[in-house]
Structure 1
Amino acid sequence: MFRRMTSAIMGAAIAFGLTSAAHAVELRYAHVGTEGDIQTIFAEEAAKKIDEATNGDVTVKVYPASQLGSVAEMVDGVRMGSISMGHHDFASLARIVPEVAVFNAPFLFKNAEQALAATDPATSPVLKEINEKLVEKGGVRIIGRIYRGAREISANFPVKSPADLKGKAFRAVPLDLWVSMVKGFGAVPTPVEVSELPTALMTGLVVGQENPLTMIYANKLYEVQKSVSMTDHMQSILAVFINEDVWQGLTEDQRKTISKVLDDEAHISLKMAQDSKADLISKLKEKGMTIVTEDNGLDLDAFKKSVLDQIKSDFPDYAPYYDRIANMN
């Protein structure tokens, strides 16, 4: 018992990065995003504004680009307390509570605004329910979210329907939900970590991948991919999560301040993604990429049917969440 208590205290101390001033804390914030991506800008801005809003009582040191490990290692670090907080797809927490992955489910939200509302930790009834389970089972709490834009399919050939990907190796985020979705694309799911993605595409290990336009451009995937299909199959929402002991170790005012900063930045990320879409499409065209839309042959209905059939088969427990989220504003 004493050993467990000592371990917990040491973990919290590491995560906090306690300074000599008793009231000041430093939070270690990890993520896998690279320079230029909306998620990276979000983390940097949030860190700066938390420091300003708390008059330096809470500082946030950001470790981007997988510096503290892969997605799984980051989540484990937050659970243990060696990392204070991080962000990634909601589905990255599915090892703790499987149903949290529903917030990343394809063809779930009506639009970006609804996606942001449905994932608000302060007001979303569905997220509140799931958050209680995350705290109880994993000692992790979702305290914010990031909007990165709709996810699109890129490949080294034009993709217009699931038939075009049949039998081809396609990158899947190493999470069950993504594996299921890629099967729905008609492809063979091949798990690849984001840090290894450009090499996997260049060597032909996989023929394609799916991500928001901002990531496709920031990671220069136009150098190894020829086409983007505007499927908008998923509204890319990332969860910002924190170790529960670290969270409870903050004062109530500090928690309120951090929550407000993260909510403000979530709305900024939404505007940033929406404002940049046309510009990103233009830039990708300039880099030689073909943009496939319904106007030039994209069969969006075929993708919807195939993907939703696969998801409903693999995750029958998602059905009631789909209905509740669909009715949220």
Structure 2
Amino acid sequence: MATLAFACGLAAPAAAQTTIRYAHVGSEGDIQYWYADEFAKRVEKRTDGRVKVHVFPNSQLGGASETVDGVRSGAIPLAHHEFGSLARLFPDIAAFAAPFVYRDGAHAMAATDPIKSDIMKEMSDKMVKQSNVRIIGRLYRGARQMTAKTAIYSPSDLQGKRFRGVPLPLWTTMIKGMGAVPTPVEVGELPTALMTGMVMGQENPLTMINANKLYEVQTHVMLTGHMQNVLPVFINERVWQSIPEKDRAIVAEVAAEVGEETLKLGLEAEVNLIDELKKKGMTFITEKDGLKVEEFKASVGKQVDADFPTWKPLMERIAAVK
């Protein structure tokens, strides 16, 4: 056909092209921002331009609920956010974000691998059937740590104090388990909430703490490592099936490849950023300084068991992943 068209002086038909919008809430300097940009570049290159990904960072297309609902409807084809946010579609998927469920970052990435992890594949398949959304990858941002305007050593230090949580049920449970008063705040409003005293503290990976300049409104970092912050990359199932099979394989391959690279970046950042944030005036509190990590673990675990009683078998399977 192309040869005939050329012989007749006509342009050959262009290869079919798929353009996908990709939403996330991350700011420049955060690993999640790098992931989305790198993913988009590699997908376009490896598909020879057949699949283009346009990234919308910084909550441009909305916060957690808007992002998840958008992917379910197809208004936003592709996104990444917390496993806890996907509970809007399939409640048990949030077990992959449970506090203290992972041994370390490598374990978190292994358990959430949509290709190799049996429990992740099982849960993703169920979510496809229930909500028309598929997990195609994941990325690692580092362990989530607590920050505050004063040193915190145990749950008793947070009694009666307003502490920011991601506006999701799991975070309400976790912050309550930490001893504080859960106060939902969207990430874009967080610096202002901390500056005005609406909340006295928050928790996030060090990469986000640095990228969002939270050192300007917080003085102490408590190295609780209460969550290994691994984020699912998820796509509307109709959009996924509309991509030719060959290109779907490339997209999944790139998602896995760039995801593994974030683990290395996240682990390196956790080391380097401690010195960098110290230079910016932050004081770090560790177990050697009296931080009661086991008290936080026990208290949060008790609250999770109370609020999410069906999770125990899932968390046991997640914990057992090698």
Length-normalised TM-score, structure 1? 0.93
**Whole-Å separation in 2 of the counterparts to 1:222 and 1:314:** 33
Q: Does 1:285 align with 2:278?
A: yes
Aligned to 1:23: 16
- 1:21 and 1:276 map into 2 onto residues whose CA distance is 43
| Matching residue's letter, 2:41 | K
Q: Which residue, out of 188, 201, 216, partners 1:208?
A: 201
> Which amino acid counterpart does residue 206 of structure 1 have in structure 2?
V
- Among 151, 155, 174, which residue is 1:158 paired with? 151
Cα distance in structure 2, aligned partners of 1:97 and 1:70: 18
Contact 2:17/2:49 (8 A) holds in 1: yes
Q: Percent identity?
A: 54
SS of 2:88's partner is coil
Pick one of 58, 76, 86 that aligns with 2:79.
86
**Residue 4 of structure 1 aligns with which residue?**
none
Q: Secondary structure at the match of 2:153?
A: coil
Structure-2 separation of matches of 1:46 and 1:132 = 23
1: distance between equivalents of 2:130 and 2:321? Answer: 26
> Distance between the aligned counterparts of 1:267 and 1:167, measured in 2?
40
- Is 1:296 aligned with 2:289? yes
| C-alpha distance in structure 2 between counterparts of 1:270 and 1:21, whole Å | 38
Counterpart among 181, 184, 197 of residue 177 in structure 2 = 184
- 1:313 corresponds in structure 2 to 306
Among 52, 55, 79, the residue aligned to 2:48: 55
Structure 1 residues 41 and 25 mapped into 2: Cα distance closer, same or farther (>3 Å)?
same
Q: Which runs of 5+ in 2 are unaligned?
A: 1-12
Check whether the contact 2:15–2:50 (CA below 8 A) recurs between aligned residues.
Answer: no
Partner of 1:67: 60
Relative to 1, partners in 2 of residues 1:193 and 1:21: Cα closer, same or farther, differing over 3 Å?
farther
Aligned-pair CA distance for 1:22: 5.7
How many residue pairs match? The answer is 310
Equivalent position amino acid for 1:74 in 2: T
Match for residue 117 of structure 1 among 107, 110, 114: 110
Q: How does 1:204-283 map to 2 (within 5 A)?
A: 204-283=197-276
Partner of 2:8: none
- CA deviations 1:157-215 (Å, max 9, x no partner) are 01111111111000011111110000011000000000000000000000000000000
1: CA distance between counterparts of 2:56 and 2:207?
Answer: 20
d(CA) in 1 for partners of 2:236 and 2:297? Answer: 36
The Cα RMSD (Å) is 1.0
The residue identity in structure 1 corresponding to 2:243 is L
- Flag structure 1 segments of 5+ consecutive residues without an equivalent: 1-19
- Equivalents in 2 of 1:42, 1:250: separation in Å? 21
Letter in 2 for 1:233: H
CA contact (8 A) 2:153 2:292 kept: yes
Structure 1 ranges of 4+ moved more than 4 A = none
- Asked if 1:197 corresponds to 2:190, the answer is yes
Whole-angstrom distance in 2 between the partners of 1:151 and 1:24? 39
TM-superposition CA deviations, 1:259-296 (whole Å, max 9, x none):
11010111100000111212100011011111000111
The 3-state SS of whatever aligns with 1:32 is: coil
- SS of the residue aligned with 2:170? helix
TM-score (norm 2): 0.95
Alpha-carbon distance between aligned partners in 1 of 2:180 and 2:85, rounded to the nearest angstrom: 22
AA at the equivalent of 2:162: A
Paired with 1:226 and 1:21, the residues of 2 have a C-alpha distance of 57
Letter in 1 for 2:213: K
Structure of higher CA gyration radius: 2
Tell me by how many angstroms 1:315 deviates. Answer: 0.6
Q: What do residues 5-61 of structure 1 show as CA deviations (whole Å, max 9, x unaligned)?
A: xxxxxxxxxxxxxxx956101100000001100000000000000001100000100
Whether contact under 8 Å (2:133, 2:237) holds in the other structure is yes
Q: Which letter does structure 1 place at the counterpart of 2:196?
A: T
Determine the C-alpha separation between the residues in 2 that align with 1:119 and 1:149: 14
Residue identity in the other structure for 1:166: Q
Q: 2:113 is aligned with what amino acid?
A: D
1:146 corresponding residue in structure 2: 139
Aligned pairs (5 A) from 1:119-138: 119-138=112-131
1:325 partnered with 2:312: no
Measured against aligned partners, the alpha-carbon deviations of 1:210-241 in whole angstroms (never above 9, x if no partner) come to 00000000000000000000000000010100
Tell me how far apart the structure 1 counterparts of residues 151 and 258 of structure 2 sit (CA, whole Å). Answer: 35
